[in-house]
A and B are shown apart, each in its own frame.
Chain A
């Protein structure tokens, strides 16, 4: 499947029409996108930093109730993100053919694979059992570093996608 076919499949005239007819849709989706971003960074980022040894006074398991809330934030961003891609006035190719967007998707996939590894290896369970003052296993620290990296660069590439030419120039492309 080439990028044109993907763009055609992801361009939804109904969403485009809705975005076009209501000036509030795009900025309101952006607000939810920033809110979801803040929840992910504030909640998952704090968990990552604790795994890395900051805020040691916290039992790691005490942060667990915040994870579902971060997932809610992520779903909000998925929905608003889908509106951006499918409802963009010039079509989904603005995103699909945009290197910054492609790299943002790679970062999201990295965060996802990282999370799956965290869960299936049993590291998540082990980490939530770490008491106040305790150290997380080294493997969990590696996962936490990857998580912080993936989310930070999800934001960076997300911001860069409106300035894709700057990224291309930087990379000499």
Chain B
């Protein structure tokens, strides 16, 4: 049903460069903004680039929100264009789980720790912050790897039996 909607047909079948290919390109750029910025923040919390003030990290979420918005919209368009095959693809749902957990961790890190600039002033990264940073790195690595596997459903079946 989704797949036959006018929007889905346009994304999938229009020969225009502004249909499928633009959406696909934006999805790659959004991915890099979200994964790259989350990685930068996690690395700083794990001891990299210690000259970088911890209080600045919350500002970098602008890039994460922007990239996530781009990918939510482009992701919905790419999904409806191929809804029937995507909906039954384990790798697709697996990727969504890691994206959801990754974003949850990003929000938790910000609200619970990075927004508290007075606590950060000491420059100390607490163990819970380090734990969240590690979970973040793992989530985004998995989201990226499993996301790429959506292009190889036959390999997923061969390797994981699903």
Contact = CB atoms under 8 A, between A and B. Distances in A.
Q: Do A and B bind each other?
A: yes
B63 A49 contact: yes
B32 to A, nearest CB: 3
A54 B62 contact: yes
A112 B40 CA distance: 22
A45 B63 contact: yes
Contacts of B63: 42, 45-46, 49
**Which of A35, A132, A158 counts the most chain B CB atoms within 10 A?**
A35
10 contacts: A34-B148, A37-B28, A40-B32, A45-B32, A54-B59, A58-B56, A62-B52, A160-B25, A166-B16, A170-B16
Given A42-B39, A169-B15, 17 more contacts: A23-B155, A23-B158, A27-B152, A31-B145, A31-B148, A41-B32, A42-B33, A42-B40, A62-B49, A62-B56, A63-B49, A66-B40, A155-B29, A163-B21, A167-B17, A169-B17, A170-B16
A51 interface: no
Majority SS of interface residues in chain B?
helix
A42 B35 contact: yes
Interface residues of B, number: 41
A125 interface: no
B95 to A, nearest CB: 12
A55 interface: yes
B36 A40 contact: yes
Nearest to A168: B17
Majority SS of interface residues in chain A?
helix
Interface of A: 23-24, 27, 30-31, 34-35, 37-43, 45-46, 49, 54-55, 57-59, 61-66, 69, 132, 152, 155-156, 158-160, 163, 166-167, 169-170
B43 interface: yes
B86 interface: no
A45 B33 contact: yes
B151 interface: yes
B90 to A, nearest CB: 15
Given A35-B141, A58-B52, A166 B148 contact: no
Contacts of A66: 40, 43, 48-49
A171 B149 CA distance: 32
Interface string B49-64: 1011101100110110
